[in-house]
Amino acid sequence: MALPKGFVDLAAASDAPSGTFVSIIGAVVDIMPPTTTRSNEYMFTFKLLDPRLHASVHGFRGLTVRFFKADQRLLPKVRNIGDIVLLRQIKMQPYANQPVALSNYQTGALVFPAAAIPDANYSIAYQGTDRMNCLGVPADVEKLSLEEQAYVIHLKAQLSATIAQIPTAPAAEQSRKRDPQPLPESGPPEKKAKQSGLGHKFQLVEDLRHQKFADICAEVVKKFPNKYGTCELYVTDYTENKDMWYYRPPEEETGGQRDGDEYGYSGIQKKTWPGPYGWLVLKVNMKDPHAHFANNNVEEGDIVLLRNVKMKIMKEGAKLEGDMWPDDRNPEKLLVTKMKPDLYKTPEINDLLAQKEKYWAARKAKNAQHQQQPDGQPKLTKTEKKRRQKLRKKENALNAAGGADAADGQQGGASTKRDDGTNKYIRCSTEEASLSSVRDILDPDNVRHTAKLQGHTQVIPFINAKYRAKVRVVDFEPKAIEDFAVPPLPEEDEEASPIDAMDWEASPSYEWFFELLLEDASTATQTTGPGTEQKEQVWVSLAHAEAQYLLGKDMPDPRDLRHSPQLLAKLKEKLCILWGNLEEKGVEEALSNRSFECCLMEYGIEMDDDDPEKKLAAFGYKKMFRMFGTTIL
């Protein structure tokens, strides 16, 4: 059944730009008791679900809705799981990278108690003058239309099976029972951890395992802050866990890449890893509010207590990492604490400091032994020398191609153990989402772009959706890289699309804007030409915000590139990491670059009235794609 006029589904509301006002209808799937804010207002939080949101990747938990009222009696009368709530003119305002619908002075709310909603088989009785019982102020009740009432009945029937699986205990009781618990895992029993004053979840790094939650007390080795609400901490308690990345000590380095995350954001050139070495350092990915605290208060060398860290190994061949995301039930709850040794004299910190002293004493002794060897180099066997020579040869080829896949151009050369060929210097922020092929994203058969509108099956021009794909760059626009930075559009220009409507701290004198032609790289074939399979391709645009994110935090603000040779050179160096030899290759020369994973966003723009193709386009809209959440390290 179609949504009533003027309403949007919850999935579309979740993807709406910040500040957008929407009207929505959903079933209650979670309720939290009202609490008081610092301004002595009452805050009431609940979550809504509808079929579209339930089918999305991250929407099965529901859309968070928050009401603020000075008088508790004016809050919506939501009482039970399964109640249907109709909201008019509620404001979408993302919080901690999560969509949240916030009430305002013009928000209208109607609550339909689940027990008062009739079975769909008897809905005909409510298509005339009969009205269902609903809770709300009289002005909002009078606005209820027959179309909206029919949709409420239909929505309850659609979600009845889903609602039946949700516990219906009182909200206060649910709130007490919702502390995250470790996920079950098959396998041999783990050794019993010794009791700790930091709580029953406290674990040493050596005891961390996939899909477990743990409290960790560790020293910060490195911190990589990010202005987009994230932070990466590299921490250690000097205990070893071979599920984590291995950091080679200096005596094992060959001047090239390590088996681990690269330290440094300047492309091919790398900085020296300060230690500790081996399987001792855990990477922890943070989002706000934890990231904000770490970015502003935590320094390298500090000892921190990280609570409720979720351990994960994302895919085969990946390493153990930790995640600290915001709590859906209490988004402002901070789980990072600085543990100053002079204030927190705990056994755990004492053990950590003792392990640290022991480790560096051993390293000092090993360094002294290393210095005594001829030319300061360890003695190598013939096999080890050959292995290092082969590795260095391959790394030099990779560096010369700007991160290209040198294996494509080698003829029978010796190979070393490698990953799946994905470019390590490009990172995608949404690694949890499953990979989609370019063909599935384009949807040429309109499998996902067909909907029933007013009883008729029609092809819709676009859907608001996000994807993760494995691709390589095969072309770009404009052809002159000097034109990748352009003056901003004048204010009197036509209104920007919702995706372009972003608030920047200051309007730059120049903006990044360019397009990339991406080719599907989800199969083994890496080139196209005679005798090879034609790959699906898609043009994607990068406006200023997405391009700045792609180029990384060390890229200066854009200027007139035709009069900024140093900035142009830096830009080309960055893009070389992205697309290898694409810019300078000849007509007959083969393209040599590595595939990478990126985030893509599908959206639509209304075509100009004078565009001759507008009459042929469904609803006068054109499908577009944009790259986002992808960074060149």
Q: pLDDT tens across 302-335, in order?
A: 999 999 899 888 765 678 899 998 877 778 888 8
* pLDDT computed for residue 477 by the predictor: 92
* pLDDT computed for residue 473 by the predictor: 94
CB 471 within 8 A of CB 578: no
- Choose among 499, 487, 480, 482: nearest CA to 540: 499
**Treating both helix axes as pointing N-terminal to C-terminal, what angle do 544-551 and 565-579 enclose, rounded to 10 degrees?**
80
Cβ atoms within 10 Å of 601's Cβ, excluding its own: 19
* pLDDT computed for residue 195 by the predictor: 53
The contacts of residue 104 (CB under 8 Å, 6+ apart) are 89, 90, 91
- Choose among 592, 217, 534, 234: nearest CA to 404: 592
Cβ atoms within 10 Å of 307's Cβ, excluding its own: 20
| Below-50 pLDDT ranges, the chain | 169-194, 254-270, 374-380, 384, 387, 390-391, 393-418, 491-508, 524-531
Rounded Cα distance, 325 and 286, in Å: 6
* CA distance to 69, 124, 238, 274, 276, per residue, from 360 (Å): 57, 78, 10, 12, 8
- Lookup: tokens for 344: 């927190």
DSSP assignment of 29-91: EEEEEEEE-TTS-EEEEEEEE-HHHHHSSS-TT-EEEEEEESSGGGS----STT-EEEEEEEE
CB 267 within 8 A of CB 404: no
Domains in the chain, CATH or no CATH each: 10-176 (2.40.50.140), 205-364 (2.40.50.140), 380-418 (no CATH), 426-632 (2.40.50)
* pLDDT computed for residue 117 by the predictor: 86
* pLDDT computed for residue 179 by the predictor: 39
What is the bridge-based pairing of β-strands 303-312 and 100-102?
Answer: unpaired
Cβ atoms within 10 Å of 521's Cβ, excluding its own: 23
* pLDDT computed for residue 122 by the predictor: 60
3-state secondary structure of 516: strand
- Lookup: tokens for 63: 């859309």
* pLDDT computed for residue 216 by the predictor: 92
3-state secondary structure of 291: helix
* pLDDT computed for residue 519 by the predictor: 93
